[in-house]
Structure 1
């Protein structure tokens, strides 16, 4: 298939592009910067989101669009300026993709759009599945994701299968949240974060890319899809498992008030949480490579 990825140079995008190439797909990366490619390059880069770019011709006959573009939510305090950038970057990419799709002679088979489990809001007791599409949280992250999905869902007006990948905490050795969580443990000062009872719904990067590939191949799958392991854990359990994988102690607690002072509103990412299950992936027959946290962390840090 011919597959175009926006945000393809980011954390998930790079891993996904490599996986798709290994499975003999033609991969196009949509990039803000002009990147010259040779005929021998495995990946083609097409400039977009630029006043001088017109990617329509190069994107004709694209089978699948995957939108992973958006400002990172965990690389700085959520000031009002930064929150606006987080929201606007996501909406801008969706609007541009919809405009491209509208101009294509042949419409793609699907739009697969990134999303996040933050849409559900936070809870210590509730178990969230894809059926929970009402009564979302009222915090910044929940409102942002809800707005993001609503805009992306406009692709359905073209008769296109539309999928929202609601990512949990993606685990990878080099990128994402795990290196930041692991750093204090590697320095022998890791320990419980907050009260430790908050849920952490995680997923290994390998299951992210395999899960997206699974969705591409199974055309009956549409709508919101939770990308989390079937076995979420509490933050205390996560910390103890991580400490064991790194052969470090789990003893130096980080109180909630200290994190709120340090991170501000962004502290909700580690202090609060939600227990999210990937029911639709499981119901459609996807088999997780890493459903167990201990095996996932052993693989990452081996």
Structure 2
């Protein structure tokens, strides 16, 4: 198969590219930067969203498009300018993706549009699945709602899937990489009350799950990318400390995190319990369904 990936240089994009090329598929990575890169087997780079670029000329015949492009949520404080970039980058990439699909003579079978469990809002008590239709009322929920809506105007021949990512665990980037130094230096402890939920997923299950969506043509609409066993933050911290062979120290007060992170503190101080109902109902087998298994693999 021929599969286009925007955001292919990010954490998820790199893992997905490897998963697909290892399976013998041809990958087209859409990029704003120069395409004069070192040759990689089964990978081609296509410029987009920069100057007078027409990526559709090089994407004719693709079978699937995976749109993962957007400003990194985890970098920098959420100033008003940062929040504007978070929203605008996602809308720009998604609208350009839709334009490209309409321009192709042969429409791809599926568009998997990146999304996030932030659409559900935060809750200490509720459990969310794809059947929950009402979005939350905070900044992230508003962003994800607009992001998903921007993908709706795609060709009718193309199946639309929203991959709603939880907290992706990897030592190469994301939340876990930022947490590790504190825990490795014996300073790890629960964040805030510790009662907030973390809906996590191993990076390997993200890549394999995305390939699963490409291959399974009956799946459409929102799909939660979280492990089937979410954890409260206090248990997450204890499990991480145990995996590292380190003690679990005093909690980091919420007021301190808010002062350090600003509005971005919502990513660690608040959360939601999200289950991957569609993946499990359709037969996807998680490589790492439990947190201790994920840490054993990542931290070995």
The verdict on a shared fold, with TM-score over 0.5 as the criterion, is yes
Corresponding residue number in structure 2 for 1:149: 148
Deviation at 1:179, TM superposition (A): 1.1
List per-residue Cα deviations over 1:167-197 (Å, max 9, x = no partner): 0000001211101112211111110110100
Corresponding residue number in structure 2 for 1:103: 103
RMSD of the TM alignment (CA)?
1.1
Corresponding residue number in structure 2 for 1:49: 49
Corresponding residue number in structure 1 for 2:159: 161
Give matches, 1:114-263, under 5 Å. 114-134=114-134, 136-155=135-154, 157-263=155-261
- Hey, what's the Cα distance between the residues in 2 that align with 1:240 and 1:218? 37
**8 Å CA contact retained: 2:11, 2:172:** no
**8 Å CA contact retained: 1:3, 1:65:** yes
- Hey, what's the Cα distance between the residues in 2 that align with 1:253 and 1:37? 45
**8 Å CA contact retained: 2:24, 2:42:** no
List alignment gaps of at least 5 residues for structure 2.
Answer: none
- Hey, what's the Cα distance between the residues in 1 that align with 2:179 and 2:157? 42
Q: Could you state the TM-score of these two structures normalised by the residue count of structure 2?
A: 0.98
**8 Å CA contact retained: 1:107, 1:158:** no
Corresponding residue number in structure 1 for 2:77: 77
- Hey, what's the Cα distance between the residues in 2 that align with 1:198 and 1:39? 45
List per-residue Cα deviations over 1:130-185 (Å, max 9, x = no partner): 00012x21110010001000111222x43310000000000001211101112211
- Hey, what's the Cα distance between the residues in 1 that align with 2:5 and 2:40? 19
List per-residue Cα deviations over 1:17-36 (Å, max 9, x = no partner): 01100001010100001212
Query: Compared with structure 1, are the counterparts of its residues 16 and 236 closer, same or farther at alpha carbon in structure 2 (3 Å cutoff)?
Result: same
Q: Which runs of 4+ in 1 moved over 6 A?
A: none
Query: Compared with structure 1, are the counterparts of its residues 61 and 150 closer, same or farther at alpha carbon in structure 2 (3 Å cutoff)?
Result: same
1:283 to 274, 281, 293: 281
Deviation at 1:245, TM superposition (A): 0.5
- Hey, what's the Cα distance between the residues in 1 that align with 2:275 and 2:185? 32
* 1:272 correspondence with 2:250: no
**8 Å CA contact retained: 1:37, 1:44:** no
List alignment gaps of at least 5 residues for structure 1.
Answer: none
- Hey, what's the Cα distance between the residues in 2 that align with 1:78 and 1:88? 14
- Hey, what's the Cα distance between the residues in 2 that align with 1:210 and 1:119? 23
- Hey, what's the Cα distance between the residues in 1 that align with 2:58 and 2:188? 49
Alignment size in residue pairs: 300
- Hey, what's the Cα distance between the residues in 1 that align with 2:61 and 2:187? 53
